[in-house]
Amino acid sequence: MLATFLGLLLALPATVHPAPVQQPAVPALVPQPVSLSRYKEPDFELKASTRILVPPKDAGALQAAGALVSWLVPSTGMVLGTEEGTERVKGSILFTREKADPSLGSEGYVLEVNTDSVLIRAGGDAGLYYAAQTLRQLFPPEIFARTPQKDVEWKAPALFIRDQPRFPWRGWMLDVSRHFFTKDEVKRCIDQLAAHKINTFHWHIVDDHGWRIAIAKYPRLTEIGAWRSATGFGLDPADSTTYDKDGRYGGFYTQEEVREVVSYAAARHITVVPEIEMPGHSIAALAAHPEFSCTGGPFDRDVPAGVHAGIYCPGNEATFEFLENVLTEIFELFPSTFIHLGGDEVPREEWKKCAKCRARMANEQLADVEQLQSWFLKRVERFVNAKGRRVIGWDEILEGGLAPNAAVMSWRGTSGGLAAASAGHDVVMSPNAELYLDHYQARSGEPKAIGGYSPIDEVYLYEPIPEGLAADKQRHVLGAQGNLWSEYIPNARQVEYMTWPRECAIAERTWSPRDTRDLTNFLARMEVHSRRLEWMGVNYRPMAPAALDTLLQWTAAGTSLQLSFRPPFAGAQVRYTLDGSEPTMDSARGDGPTPLPSGPVWIKARVFRSNSRESFRTEALALPGPMLVSASHTRGLERAFDGDENTSAVSNASLVAGDYLRLQLAGARALSSLEILSGDAEQAADFPQAAVVEISPDGVNFQTLAEVSGERIAVDLSGRTITALRVRITRSQDRWWRIREVRLK
């Protein structure tokens, strides 16, 4: 079989993929604005005499101007004066609403920098603020420093920018239940988000492991529900700091603190969307109030990560009275239109056993517990709608029938978002494979994470409009967000490490026009932007290169393959080995075309940063053919291509959503079929239980071709022209993947 496969590919003509390293767009803005043109005139220079001018009696402009002044003080030492003014004069930065273009919306703006002055024009407060954020990025990265910087010329290039966001929901979620982060730590996150024009902070404020918001009517929620015995999740207790005097782990926000965070966010044009989980993920609430469960408890907050049977009893009227009372206090604290009600991962077995729940189902003529969950949410939705708010929930709320006005947050892949948007519901996309920020950022060398693998390039390449969504339904995609679940995030430094720079990619994909997607250009701009993060003191993860197979440049010449590497960012050095050893700074440099020996060969590469000791490792298997194969944490990949069904490659860990097997050809080819045999006699379950086959005409942009699972995956490729294929796991599973044979024809 291998011979047939190789024979086919060997007959292909040579293909060359020139991939010039793009220079960073100048200036390197993140997110990329809609349009930018440079003027041929000298830079604008910030001076202590520079005046900020705002229209009279314009609170929004004054707030944006105040923000700009406050950002400039620490690094430049200059405290710029703000005055009322409507005319653009020499040495000024003018904020104006005059002649603002209504088609730019409330968040759009125009920014014009000339040698003598700066003009910021926007109709909305947010637009004025975002223009100021963009202006800040036009100065040298040192402008973000928190201490005075000497010998820096505070100059911004002369240019014209017209800008507005692609999506109204540009989000980030923080789970403060699994680990607790203080009010001040959350405010610091908000500043970082605002610098990237993120406008929605989804505060996952209650879950099994802790109830973190004081509710006046039910003080036990925080007296009991906010505390557990230990840090948990197998982490070192020393990595966490939020213990009470008795050594219990936890914490909560007073209502005063919540108000402070909400108004701090509002001043930065960020809406805080609270999530009050129901009916599942409710152990912390039920530990305090077991009377609202089916079983009566008791409930233990020290449970491991996962899905637990601590769920509310919808058979009991008192449950709804409780939830409505809680929500009434939530409405008081959070002005956001959307209130997130969770709805994910509800183990509904309890309801089947509960007499009250069975009676409810009989009375309401509900056929099954799925319908009972749907009834539960619809009932709470009526209450939320009556108060003028809207419900959003995880995509499980589609099961058993979606509440009429509810919006859906699509996390189990994109199918929930596609279904809901197609039916006319608003959706926010946060598919776990691409946008879960608790996933690993590299395949090795990273701090303990929950699993998964979502490197920055995959985050960046994610397109929020699901494939197959009709054009007239696309407006229902409100946007996308990165979700940071905190089981393995014991402290605020780790929050930053997991969030940045991946949230930069989300900011860009939700703000910038679809057709600006260009990974190489983004990574180049991120080299500059990383320095901004550095000066801000953000504990960001240093930039990782794209997957090795996207760094490789191919030259297929007859039976052999020549390779060279494209440095993933300015100043990066790629070193590689072909003998299985770990690459070091002394290994061969991957900058010239190097012929590969024939036969399967492992290419191991390491990307070194010139300015630090950080390095990133990646590997792939080159097959004569020629084809490059890579797979998440898999050993013995060559055995999946040896024509022997009795030998196999093994994933070496249970599969998590986002894991993949990727096959990249040296050039686009018409292909007829893909077949993958998995498992074996003893390990029959070692196959993908939920995956998609994705194909790419260009090796960069992938589209889903089929949902697949099982011991034999067979996909008809119908002669499509393909450069790369990927089998991507869409749901985490307990089992490994034993790949016996892969056949591509």
By CB under 5 A, name the binding residues for Zn ion.
294, 313, 315, 354, 356-357
Q: Which is nearer to ligand ACM, 170 or 340 (CB)?
A: 340
CB of 345 to ligand ACM, least distance (A): 5
What is the smallest separation between the CB atom of 396 and ligand ACM, expressed in angstroms? Answer: 8
Task: Give the CA angle between residues 469, 474, 476 to the nearest 5°.
Answer: 115
Residue 313 interface partner, choices ligand ACM, Zn ion, none, CB cut-off 5-8 Å depending on type: Zn ion
In the complex, the smallest distance separating the C-beta of residue 200 from ligand ACM, rounded to whole angstroms, is: 16
Closer Cβ to ligand ACM, 113 or 397, answer by number: 397
186 CB neighbour count, 10 Å cutoff: 23
- In the list ligand ACM, Zn ion, none, the entry touching 354 (Cβ below 5 to 8 angstroms by class) is Zn ion
Nearer to ligand ACM (CB atom), residue 258 or residue 346: 346
Distance in angstroms (rounded) separating the CA atoms of residues 80 and 86 = 17
Residue whose CB is less far from ligand ACM, 416 or 583:
416
Q: Are the CB atoms for 69 and 80 separated by under 8 Å?
A: yes
Within 8 A by CB and 6+ apart from 542, the residues are: 530, 609, 612, 614
Buried b (16+ CB within 10 A) or exposed e, 704-732: bbbebbebebebebeeeebbbbbbbbbbb
At residue 486, φ and ψ (nearest 5 deg) are: -115, 20
Q: How many CA atoms lie within 13 A of 4 on its CB side?
A: 6
Spot the catalytic one: 281, 308, 340, 476: 281
CA angle 332, 334, 338 (to 5 degrees): 120
User: Cβ–Cβ contacts within 10 Å for residue 392, how many?
Assistant: 26
CA distance 742 to 633: 17
Residue with tokens 């000024």: 92
Q: Please provide residue 126's backbone torsions phi and psi, each rounded to the nearest 5 degrees.
A: -65, -40
Structure tokens at 350: 């309890």
Nearer to ligand ACM, 452 or 583 (CB): 452
**Residue 344, binding choice from Zn ion, ligand ACM, none, Cβ under 5 to 8 Å by partner class:** ligand ACM
Closest CA relative to residue 486, chosen from 249, 197, 269: 249
Cβ 381 to Zn ion, closest distance in Å?
20
CB nearer Zn ion, residue 214 or residue 357: 357
Shortest Cβ 374–ligand ACM spacing (Å): 17
Query: In angstroms, what is the minimal distance from the CB of 532 to ligand ACM?
Result: 30
- Closest CB 372 distance from Zn ion, rounded Å: 9
The yes-or-no answer on residue 340 being catalytic is: no
CB atoms within 10 A of CB 634: 23
Listed in sequence order, the DSSP H helices in 466-594 are 492-499, 502-511, 519-536, 548-551
CB-nearer residue toward ligand ACM: 411 or 608: 411
Binding at 345: pick from ligand ACM, Zn ion, none (beta carbon under 5-8 Å per type): ligand ACM
Active-site entry in 43, 107, 142, 207: 207
Element of type H or E holding 262: helix 255-266
Residue 411 contact partner, candidates Zn ion, ligand ACM, none, CB within 5 to 8 A by sort of partner:
ligand ACM
239 binding partner (options ligand ACM, Zn ion, none; Cβ < 5 to 8 Å by kind): none
- 345 classed as catalytic: yes
At residue 108, φ and ψ (nearest 5 deg) are -85, 165
Query: What are the residues binding ligand ACM (CB under 6 A)?
Result: 344-345, 394, 411
Query: For residue 436, what are the β-bridge partners?
Result: 483
Binding partner of 394, given Zn ion, ligand ACM, none, CB within 5-8 angstroms per partner class:
ligand ACM
54's contact among ligand ACM, Zn ion, none, with CB below 5 to 8 A by partner kind, is: none
Alpha carbon distances (Å) from 24 to 30, 37, 211, 526, 622: 11, 15, 45, 9, 31
Closer to ligand ACM by Cβ: residue 264 or 411: 411
Residue partners of 144: CB distance under 8 A and separation at least 6 = 71, 75, 136, 532, 533, 535, 536
637: amino acid identity, one letter = L
Q: Of these partners, ligand ACM, Zn ion, none, which one is at the site of residue 400 (CB under 5 to 8 Å by kind)?
A: none
Nearer to Zn ion, 126 or 294 (CB): 294
User: Helix %, strand %, coil % for the chain, to 5?
Assistant: 30, 25, 45
Choose the catalytic residue: 101, 344, 345, 675: 345
Comparing CB distances to Zn ion, the nearer of 354 and 717 is 354
Give one DSSP letter per residue of 185-198, joined into a string. Answer: HHHHHHHHHHTTT-
Distance CA(355)–CA(347), nearest Å, equals 17
Q: Pick the closer one to Zn ion by CB: 184 or 317.
A: 317
Whether 708 and 613 have beta carbons less than 8 Å apart is answered as no
Is 463 among the catalytic positions? Answer: no
The least distance separating Zn ion from the CB of residue 295, rounded to whole angstroms, comes to 8
Q: Which residue is closest to ligand ACM by CB?
A: 344
Q: What are the phi and psi torsion angles at 624 (to 5°)?
A: -65, 145
Helices (H) and strands (E) in the chain, counts: 18, 37
CB of 433 to ligand ACM, least distance (A): 12
- Please, what is the minimum distance in Å from the beta carbon of residue 609 to ligand ACM? 33
User: Which structure tokens are listed for 458?
Assistant: 């995959």
Task: Compute the least distance from the CB of residue 240 to ligand ACM, in Å.
Answer: 22
- Report what 294 binds from ligand ACM, Zn ion, none; CB cut-off 5-8 Å by kind: Zn ion
Q: Which residues are catalytic?
A: 207, 281, 345
